[in-house]
Amino acid sequence: MVKQSLTRAFNNAFVGIVYCVIHERNMKIHIVFAILAECLAWQLQLDRDEMLILLLTISSVLITEMMNTVVEAVVDIVSPEIHPLAKVAKDVAAGAVLIATLNSLLVGYLLFGDKLWR
């Protein structure tokens, strides 16, 4: 197999991100909340460590949402008919997104709570 150029690899990665943003409703929701969280972090002047935690948390949600999209696409290709294991794969991937999202809410509470309600 011929390796693709680095430029082509980055372009393909960018296309994948754009695909998720355009086609996945939940990705749009996550991005809106990520932007709101970043604006709030800027307004509340989070320190460097707090900002790092926030960025890692946001990244984990976006990455798990993208991996969920991957699982759904692969399962649909491999098993176009309804199959119990296909459902398990999709449900587990969605569960990973839910855990990342619930974690992000907890991190948001811990980072913003005291600053908002003092």
Residue 1 lies in a domain: no
What pLDDT, in 10s, does the model give residues 107-117? 999 999 989 88
Catalytic residue among 24, 38, 50, 65: 65
Domain carrying residue 35? 26-116
Domain count, the chain: 1
Residue 8 lies in a domain: no
CATH of the domain at 43: 1.10.287.3610
Residue 94 lies in a domain: yes
Do residues 65 and 27 lie in contact, with contact meaning Cβ atoms separated by under 8 Å?
yes
Enter the tokens of residue 104.
């992000």
User: What pLDDT was estimated at residue 27?
Assistant: 97
What pLDDT, in 10s, does the model give residues 62-113? 999 999 999 999 999 999 888 999 999 999 999 999 999 999 999 999 999 9
24 is catalytic: no
Do residues 8 and 53 lie in contact, with contact meaning Cβ atoms separated by under 8 Å?
no
Residue 88 lies in a domain: yes
Residue 7 lies in a domain: no
**pTM of the predicted protein model:** 0.92
